Amino acid sequence: MKRYIKLFTAIASLSFLGLQSCSDSFLELKPRGTDLEGNYYKNRQEAYNGLVAIYDVVGYQASNYTTKILTTSAASDDHYAGGGGSSDLPHLQAWSNYSLTPAVGPQEDLWQRNYMGIMRANVLLQKLPDIPMDEQEKARFTAESKALRAYFYFDLIRYFRNIPLIEVPLAGDEIYQVTQANPADVYALMEKDLNEAIPDLPSTVSREKEAGRFSQGTAKAILGKVYLQQEKFTQAAAELADVNGTPGQSSQYGYRLLDNYRDIFQVENKFNTESILEISFTNTSVGIWDCIQCTEGNILNIMAGPRSYGQGAGAPDYVAGWGFLPITQNLADVMRNDPRYPYTIIDMNQLVAEGKASYTPGYMDTGYFLEKYAGRESNRWTGAGTYELNFPQNILEIRLADTYLLEAEALVRGGGDATRAAALLNAVRARVGLAAISATFENIKRERRLELAGEGHRWFDLVRWGDASTALGDRGFVAGKHEVLPIPLLELDNTLLEQNKEYGGTK
């Protein structure tokens, strides 16, 4: 049995602001109390608490382990769902093998996560005009709230296509009268929010005091993605060019490719110069099984490791994990001779053959696991709380190599500056010692797969390119259906929402 609250109205009040926050960043604050939304937002501190509550949702991890990177990776051709068996996390298996139904799949958690963030942003945007505080800081809070709202809407429209467009807090029976918007109107709001936000966001944020907050570069990167998704190639290239600057050099926002690819994913190398949007985690949050969604640790670290891992002499210090997201043989083959291979893929086949380590094969096992986000004994928390829920590795949701390749894509597809597109593509390749190649669409697609493997971009890329049915047909992907998720079944109960036609509805 499951307690049911209408998901997109779960944040009608702020009576539970003491949620997951992110250490090692400005989100260390854990606002607590029982203040109702109607009595809240009387001063700057309460406005700040409300802003923290919006950011908090960016790192949302559901009680059944659903996260954005876990689910979209399992749905791609680079991973299987894996785990202990075919019934281990059925919602994840359903997207991985494309047996999705309105009742079975990750859609409920993904819907909840994003509407939770939107509703928190709507509340703060409504309250901010009347809060007595410094006007410049108020403008920044407003800008962050709008940019965050656009960030959440961008995920929602890519997952579901037909979604409610909610710009103000809902009250009473209004929640039952909401209908789905024309997707063009949702994109228009995202563009408006981001364009209005950018001038009032700082050009950079302090790594020591404000790491994790949106800057102009963060909002421009999201806006570039929003434009590219709509095939507005000229606008996308312009926004991404502002983020990227001269390929291989520091941009106006201080972004620069790291010299060594391996350093991007080092746990201690948080908020480095390649980071544009980073989700922060800590191993000191004392998260426990009773409230998985309350932990501030990165649960992907335990989920992605080899099952029953046994470390021998000369083997890495991986934690025995749960065997989710095994890497497909196809990706392993494609990356075999690429310099990024050892920093992307754990090759348990080789470790076992050399007698250095052992493991227990799980479901859909290939012997290959995700190196980028595998938990390490050296990062394991041994204090209070449950160690499986308290790993400290941050997740890079947007990094500079991603935006380099997106700009190159926008330029090539839109007939833009071919010389610049090649410079962007080859800066990414030169970083790992690879020779320059021509900036064709196919080369850019291949480079995105190799550079960003395991980082949660692949499924979105395949759908945007129209390549998903070819890449995933053997997994059950049906063209014209599986480009979107079903609207969560419970969201249709006593509401005006309609199911997507791909899943038996009329929308």
Q: What is the pLDDT of residue 15?
A: 31
Answer yes or no: pTM beyond 0.75. Answer: yes
pLDDT of residue 119: 96
Q: Which tens digit of pLDDT belongs to each residue from 246-259? A: 999 999 999 999 99
Q: What is the pLDDT of residues 43-70, one digit of tens each?
A: 999 999 999 999 999 999 999 999 999 9
Enter the tokens of residue 254.
């201080």
Give pLDDT, residue 36: 62
- Greater confidence (208 vs 158) lies with 158
Contact between 101 and 486 under an 8 Å Cβ cutoff? The reply is yes
Query: Residue 20's pLDDT band (boundaries 50, 70, 90)?
Result: very low
Three-class DSSP labels, 64-123 = CCCCHHHHHHHCCCCECCECCCCCCCHHHHHHHCCCCECCECCHHHHHHHHHHHHHHHHH
Mean pLDDT of the chain: 92
Cβ neighbours for 330, distance < 8 A, ≥ 6 positions apart: 77, 78
CA torsion, points 193, 151, 138, 174, in degrees to nearest 10? 80
pLDDT digit string (tens) for 440-459? 999 999 999 999 999 999 99
Burial 19-48 (b: 16+ CB within 10 A, else e): bbbbbbbbbebbbeeebebeebbeeeebbb
> For 219-265, how does the pLDDT look when each residue is reduced to its tens digit (9 = 90+)?
999 999 999 999 999 999 999 999 999 999 999 999 999 999 999 99
- pLDDT for residue 66: 95
Angle CA 129–133–139, to nearest 5: 55
Instruction: Note the pLDDT tens digit of each residue in 459-503.
Output: 999 999 999 999 999 999 999 999 999 999 999 998 999 999 999
Q: Whose CA is closest to 342, among 261, 426, 401?
A: 261
CA distance 409 to 231: 10
What integer pLDDT is reported at residue 407 of this predicted model? 99
